[in-house]
Amino acid sequence: MYEVNRSLVLLKPRQPFADWLLALPGQQADVTLDALRDSANALLIPVAEDLDEIAALLAERMDDLFEAELADWCDDQTLWPTPRTLDVFRAWFDVEIHPVVTDLADAPLAREAFRPFES
């Protein structure tokens, strides 16, 4: 068991995200907000020692984070909400911070570039 030099952020969708998702053409109506929140994307960030620093980091990366969340479900950017401001991001996602991350696996961590989910 190893403590890693990262903290964890969960981006938990809120109702406006679920409403957008369910309004997409061809979207299955069986997607629920609870299911989306239960499978929230987890992000590793620098060690969280100061919540103001974490808020600043997330605000700085908000465009990338928002676009990654949208791209997981829809690759047609014309269907993405506009504008995508920090206020909209906050309305669409709850941010949950977990300062300590412990690695229970024996294998070393591996990294690969982000690729949006393809349906």
Q: Identify whether 119 is part of a domain.
A: no
Domain of 74 in residue numbering reads as 2-103
Q: Identify whether 50 is part of a domain.
A: yes
Q: Identify whether 99 is part of a domain.
A: yes
Reported as a single tens digit per residue, the pLDDT across 14-46 is 999 999 999 999 877 788 999 999 999 999 998
Concatenated DSSP letters for 35-95?
A: HHHHT-EEEEES--S-HHHHHHHHHHTHHHHHHHHHHTT---GGGS-S---HHHHHHHEEE
Contacts of 90 (CB under 8 A, 6+ apart): none
> Domain total for the chain?
1
Question: pLDDT class for 48, splitting at 50, 70, 90?
Answer: confident
Q: Identify whether 39 is part of a domain.
A: yes
Q: Identify whether 96 is part of a domain.
A: yes
Q: Identify whether 114 is part of a domain.
A: no
Instruction: Write down the pTM of the prediction.
Output: 0.83
